Chains A and B, each alone.
Chain A
Amino acid sequence: MTHAPFGSLGAHSADGYEASTVRPYAVTGGRVRSALSDLPLEALVEVMPGAVNSVGLTPEKRAILQHAAHTYVSIAELSALLRLPLGVVRILVADMQEEGHITVHTSTPVNVHTGHGSSHSGLSLSVLESVLNGISAL
């Protein structure tokens, strides 16, 4: 049976990533939370040296290593590329970080959103200034 549990799956065999017939959270062992599962969507994954050659990883984790092997790639991008739900990728990434295969870079503090005040984003003025100048120069 080749149904596509997440919609666009079937169209992407060109990726070499086979459409999964496995329920999404099966690949996390059924967990929907992990210690680091509130990683930001935009957190960047970096593969540790030598990790690409790791053995014994699940196909999903291998795919993450491949996608992140030569560039920083965000959790959101991994979710899109692997056609896995964000929550699943978060857990896999958190696992892989614990296992020492990857490093996760987060630019923003994880617990900033208070809903009050204007510095909710935790971003500094100098970063905003760089963004402003960068957009202006595009």
Chain B
Amino acid sequence: MAFPPSDSATRGASGGMSPAWAPVSQTVGAVGAPAAGAPAPAAGGNPPRQSVLGGGRNTATDAPAPRPVASASSGPVTSVPGASAQPAAAPRPVAQPVPTQQSQQPIATAPGAGSAPQPATKPAGQPAAPTVTKIVVAGGFAVGKTTFIGSISDVDPLNTEAAMTEHSVGVDDAGGVSDRKTTTTVAMDFGRVALPGNLWLYLFGTPGQDRFLFMWDDLARGAIGAVVLVDTDRLEQCFPAIDYFESRGIPFVVGVNCFDGVAKHRLEDVREALQVPAHVPMLYTDARSRAATKQTLIALVQLAMRQLRGGAA
């Protein structure tokens, strides 16, 4: 194994280094605490998970709110989690009869079933379509992509299958036996989080195996950028992802996943081992921690903004 360099174990982590957002608690919910200073946007902290079948419009953040886009430019940009950086331009939705409890109820397959203050049919003046953005979450097999997505998604991560069929015509047959399916489909997980200002953020996990790289164009098209998750025990697994985003000029950050809340290696050692250029942000993260996930995503969006400014200049 090429990593860690033999001296880094002694030089580096005696007792383990603490990531910036440490201590990592075992309970994910508690880690989200730094946000306590900020007024909760959706009436009571983390929005409850809900079935996507119930429809996102039940959540508070989906209520028609004035889009803050125009005036947000004066707002705080370099905010960090915990800073009370609630953009003034994103007021709490008003048409909202406060229904934390109601929206918490598991909503069955039939939308509009019951309690929520949601009309059975769409009103004429229904909310405008959300602005949709997305971030790609890449990394090797079992590095924690789905956990990372799930730690922040409003809905439990969904799984979709892309059609290898398009690219493997002639392989399938009408009576296809089930053990062929692994060669004809490729699965990927994704999640969604509603943000103030009628904004939806999708998080798409890349299919784990390298041979599905062709799909990444689809995922990366129009994305804000990518998070490359790294498991320091299996560094080489993230090489394809780093190569991909680097070669295409797509903004990406490298998140070194700390599986037990303990960083085994110094970031500069990981950077050197991965040969990642200095301008690529690299940080510790913990896929299970909402706070750490947030911080990783923030680093990415900030990078994307820097690149956009730089490109425009």
Contacts and interface: CB of A to CB of B under 8 A. Distances in A.
Contact of A125 (B118, B190, B218, B308): B308
Given A107-B133, A128-B305, A137 B165 contact: no
B112 A70 contact: yes
B199 A88 contact: no
Contact of A108 (B174, B222, B304): B222
A51 to B, nearest CB: 11
A71 B56 contact: yes
Q: Chain B interface secondary structure, helix, strand, loop or mixed? A: mixed
Contacts of A74: 132, 192, 202
A118 B251 contact: yes
A118 B305 contact: no
Contact of B69 (A7, A15, A121, A127): A127
B158 A77 contact: yes
A127 B195 contact: no
A99 interface: no
Nearest to B134: A42
Contact of A79 (B77, B161, B175, B251): B161
- B: interface residue count bin: 35 or more
A81 B53 contact: yes
Contacts of B132: 42-44, 74, 105-108
B9 interface: no
A118 B165 contact: no
Interface of B: 35, 38, 41, 46, 52-53, 55-57, 67-70, 72-73, 75-77, 79-81, 83, 85-87, 90, 109, 111-112, 118, 122, 129-134, 152, 158-163, 165-166, 172, 174-178, 181, 185, 187, 190, 192-193, 195-197, 199-202, 204, 217-225, 247-251, 290, 294, 297-298, 301-302, 304-305, 307-312
Given A42-B134, A76-B204, A85-B185, 6 more contacts: A5-B172, A5-B176, A119-B311, A121-B223, A134-B195, A136-B38
